[in-house]
Amino acid sequence: MKSLNEIRLDFPAIPENEGLARMVVSAFLLPLNPTVEELADVKTAVSEAVTNAIVHGYAEREGVVRLRADYREDGLLTVDVCDRGCGIADVARARQPFFTTLEGEERSGMGFTVMESFMDGVEVKSAPNVGTTVRLTKRLLTREEPIARRA
């Protein structure tokens, strides 16, 4: 399936850039005429993944978060959030509701659960000391006709 648009953005892993990533992804989606709900879902999920890269992946250390997004003519949106931080030893355990390694620091352990509930797909590739890539996918179901043919 043909990709209609693709962006890549590298930014320093600092909390100020969580909002930047949300804004970039929502601006990227606007040509698809997303619903308010679709936009909110994607922004929330991307925000969780970017926050995780910053607070867990790099955990106060310097680093770069890489955001890549594309959408296809059938309305499938893919967003990859990638860090070269500490990685996750046990991904299945990390994805369980309420699991967190930052207990007591206002982390709920619900980040992956939130991503799963707002997106159609959440894939996690991770290796200790190599880093983590979270792939979020969502099919924007409200399209009446292929995006390429919309005015």
Ligand X SMILES: Nc1ncnc2c1ncn2[C@@H]1O[C@H](COP(=O)(O)OP(=O)(O)O)[C@@H](O)[C@H]1O
**Is the separation of the CB atoms in 131 and 65 below 8 Å?**
no
DSSP string, 76-100: EEEEEEEE-SS--S-HHHHTSTT--
Count the neighbouring beta carbons within 10 Å of the beta carbon of residue 107: 15
Q: Is residue 63 part of the contact set for ligand X (CB under 6 A)?
A: no
Question: Judged by CB under 6 A, which stretch of 18-26, 49-57, 70-78, 137-145 contacts ligand X?
Answer: 49-57
Minimum distance of ligand X from residue 66's CB (angstroms)? 12
Minimum distance of ligand X from residue 8's CB (angstroms)? 18
Clarify whether 5 is annotated catalytic.
no
Residue 61 tokens, joined: 């250390």
Nearer to ligand X (CB atom), residue 81 or residue 140: 81
User: Residue 53 binds what, of Mg ion, ligand X, none (CB under 5 to 8 Å, by partner type)?
Assistant: ligand X
**Is the separation of the CB atoms in 39 and 29 below 8 Å?**
yes
Active site residues: 48, 52, 107
Residues that bind Mg ion (CB under 5 A): 52, 111
